[in-house]
Structure 1
Amino acid sequence: MRFYCTDDTVDLEQYPYHVRDVHISDPFILADPKSRCYYTYVQFADTERFPDVETDKEHGVFYVLESKDLIHWSKPQICFRQNNFWADKDYWAPEVHIWKGRYYLFSSFRADGHYRKCQCLVSDSPKGPFEPIRQEAVTPDGWQSLDGTLYVDRSGKPWMVFCHEWLQVGDGQICAIPMSDDLGEAIGDPVILFRASDGKWNAKGAKEGGYVTDGPFLHRLPGGKLIMLWSSFTEKGAYAVGYATSRFGDILGPWDQESEPLYALDGGHAMLFYTFGGQLMMACHCPNDHPKKRILLFEMEEDKNGLHVVNEVTGNWFHAAGGPAKGWVYKQPCVEIPSFAKDPRG
C-alpha cells in the first residue's frame, strides 16, 4: 500500500513549491529530528514564481526550503548572507549536517583572483541564520577544491571529504582532511583517497581531456561496510552516480570501485538519507543542464554487500533523463501523483 502525496494533504500556502518545479543543483536533504521537517539548500531563488522573495544582489546568499513530505516545499528564505565574509562567488553544493547539537553548512566559496575553497558555517537552527566559523577555509591553501562533506570516523573524529578539482590536477581527486572539533579548521594534512581514473565506469569528462570527480558522500551499510557515493561522466557523456567501498571500513581505504554506476541517465551529485518513515532515499539532480535541474528522489535498498535503486518517486526523470535513455523520454512532464512505499512524514 503506497502513500500518495496529494495537494490536499498539505498546507499549500506554507508549502507551495512542488518538487517538479524546484530548480536546484546538487540537492542535499536534511531530515531534522527536532522539527520533523526536511530541509534543502539552494544558492538561487525562483523570483519568477516567488516575486516577493527576499533577494540580495550585493552579497552572496544561501536559501533554505522546508518540507513535511519531500514533495511540497516552502518558498525560498535566506539563511546565510555574505556581509563581511571573504567570498562572494561559487556558493556551490550546500549541505547541512547536525554535529553536537548544532547545524553546520558545508559548501564551496570563491572570490575574484582566489581558488575555490571549502569551509563551514554554523547555526542553532536548520533555517539559519548561518555564520562563518572562521574566515579561513578548511581545504588546503593552493588547492582548487569543491563539494566538501562531513565524515565522522569510528573514534568520533570529524573529517572533511572533498574534491580536488580536475581543472587544476587533470585527474580529479577525492581527498579527506581531519578537522577541529568545532569544524572550523584543518588539523592535519590532506590525504588523496582515490582519483577519478580509478573508476571503472567513468570517462574523460571534457573535450580537452581530464577526469572529473564530483559530490562525495559517505554512508555505512547495515553490515558495517563504508561506501562513498561520487559522480563523474560515462563514456556516453551522461552525468552519473557510482560508489566505492572502503576495504577496511574507514576513511583511509583503500577504496574499491564498483564496476557499474548506480544511475547513469544524466543525474548526479547524490546523497543518502532516511525518511521519518525509515526508508533509505537517494537524492540527486537531473538533468545536468543548469536551467533544467530538478530533484530526483530514489527509494533505495541496502544490505551488507551493497546499495541498489528500488524506485524513483518524483517523476522528474520522465522527460529529462539523458545518456542512453535520451531517445526514450517523453516530451511532456509527468503528471502522476508522487507516491512512496512508506509515508515520509513518519
Structure 2
Amino acid sequence: MKINKEVQMRDPFVFVDREQGKYYLFGSTDKNIWGKGTGFDVWIGNDLEHWEGPYPVFRPDIEFFSEENFWAPEVHEYKGSYYMFATFLLKDSGKRGTAVLKSDSLTGPFHPHSDGIITPDDWFSLDGTLHIDEDGKPWMVFCHEWVQVGDGQICAVRLSDDLKEAVEEPVTLFAASEAPWPTSFQHKTRNTRENYVTDGPYIYRAEDGELLMLWASFVDNVYAQGISRSTTGKVTGPWIHDEKPLFASDGGHGMLFHDLEGRLHLTLHSPNKTPDERPIFIEMEENDGVLRRREDG
C-alpha cells in the first residue's frame, strides 16, 4: 500500500494517460472541505509515489452557480475531450448536485459544460460518475443523499450524447440498507430516524465481463468501501451486494484503475477525517470477479 503523505485529498480519482506515460490525480482538496470552494487541482506523476503539483484546472468566475462544497471531481475522456463530473452546493436553492465541466486538456482549464447541475433540482445529490453502457450510451450513476431520504440511494440517469443534460428520469438502483454490510446511525440535527449513507459510486467492468460498482458507507461509524454486482451486466441491474466490505479501515470513496504496467489498483482516501485524509493506492488482484489485495501490494 502506498500513502501519499504530502497531498491532503478526499475522493481521489486517477486518470492514466498511456500515450504520455503519466498519471493525473484529481480530488477534493479544499482545506475546509465543508466550506467555501476554491476550485479543483491536478497532480501529475510518472509513478504512484512521486507527484508534481498542484496545478489549477478549474477556478469559478463570479457568475458560477456555486460557492461551497466543491467535491469529488472525476475526469473522463469522451469523444476526444475531457469531462469533469463534480459536486457543488447551489447558491440559489441550497441543494447539492453534480455538474459537468469540459476541457481539451487534462491540465485544464475546465469550463462549465452543463447548464448547472444535471441531477434533479430538488434533490440533495452528489458524486456523479460517468458510465458508457454496452450500446455506447452515456449514463451518470450518483447518490441521492441520506440527508434527504434517510436511507441513502444509488441512482442512474441517461444522459444526452453531448453530456449536457439528463434525457430521462433517474432510476433508483438500490438503497444502502439493502446491502448486508453498512450499519445505520442517528443524526442529532438532520433527523432522528435510522440513516444509511451512500457515497462515491464507481462502475468497473471486471475481466470476466461482470459489471461491478464500488461505493462507500459506514460500519459502526467507520468509513468503508463495498462492492455490488449487476446480475444482468447492465447499469440498471438488478444489483446484488457482497457480504463484507472490500476495505473497512476508515477509508472509502474509491475507484479502480490499471497502472501503466497493467496492474490493478484501488485508490481511496483514508482516514476519513479532515485534515488528515490522504490518497492511498493498494495493488489488487482479480480472480473470477473477486477482488482482493495482493499480498505484496
**One fold, TM greater than 0.5?**
yes
Give the letter for the 2:173 counterpart: L
1:16-64: per-residue Cα shift (whole Å, max 9, x none)? xx82221100111111223221111244367xxxxxxxxxx99731111
- Considering only aligned residues, what root-mean-square deviation do their CA atoms show, in Å? 1.9
The alignment covers a number of residue pairs equal to: 286
> 1:257 matched to which residue of 2?
241
Which of the residues 230, 241, 245 maps onto 2:215? 230
Give the letter for the 2:196 counterpart: Y
Which structure is higher in strand share?
Answer: 2
Structure 1 counterpart SS, 2:66: coil
The alpha-carbon distance between structure 1 residues 166 and 182, as it changes in their structure 2 partners (threshold 3 A), is same
1:242-295: per-residue Cα shift (whole Å, max 9, x none)? 100000111011000000000101011110011000001000000010110011
The alpha-carbon distance between structure 1 residues 59 and 246, as it changes in their structure 2 partners (threshold 3 A), is closer
> 1:100 matched to which residue of 2?
79
Aligned residues of 1:205 and 1:232 also touching (Cα < 8 A): no
Gaps of 5+ in 1: 6-17, 47-56, 314-346
> 1:316 matched to which residue of 2?
none
Give the letter for the 1:95 counterpart: E
1:130-172: per-residue Cα shift (whole Å, max 9, x none)? 0111332111121110000011100000100000000000100
Q: C-alpha separation between the residues in 1 aligned to 2:39 and 2:254?
A: 22
Give the letter for the 2:50 counterpart: H
The alpha-carbon distance between structure 1 residues 224 and 45, as it changes in their structure 2 partners (threshold 3 A), is same
Q: C-alpha separation between the residues in 2 aligned to 1:76 and 1:33?
A: 21
1:126-141 aligned at under 5 Å gives the runs 126-141=106-121
Q: C-alpha separation between the residues in 2 aligned to 1:134 and 1:210?
A: 31
27-36 or 158-167, which deviates more: 27-36
Give the TM-score normalised by the residue count of structure 2.
0.91
Which of the residues 40, 44, 54 maps onto 1:62? 40
Q: C-alpha separation between the residues in 2 aligned to 1:38 and 1:257?
A: 31
Give the letter for the 1:194 counterpart: F
The answer on 1:81 being equivalent to 2:66 is no
Percent identity of paired positions between Structure 1 and Structure 2: 44
Structure 2 counterpart SS, 1:135: strand
Which of the residues 193, 206, 223 maps onto 1:239? 223
The answer on 1:305 being equivalent to 2:289 is yes
Q: C-alpha separation between the residues in 2 aligned to 1:30 and 1:117?
A: 23
> 2:163 matched to which residue of 1?
183
Gaps of 5+ in 2: none
Give the TM-score normalised by the residue count of structure 1.
0.79
1:217-254: per-residue Cα shift (whole Å, max 9, x none)? 001111111000000001x3210001000001110110
Which of the residues 233, 256, 261 maps onto 1:272? 256
> 1:41 matched to which residue of 2?
26
The answer on 1:168 being equivalent to 2:153 is no
Structure 2 counterpart SS, 1:162: strand
Structure 1 counterpart SS, 2:11: coil
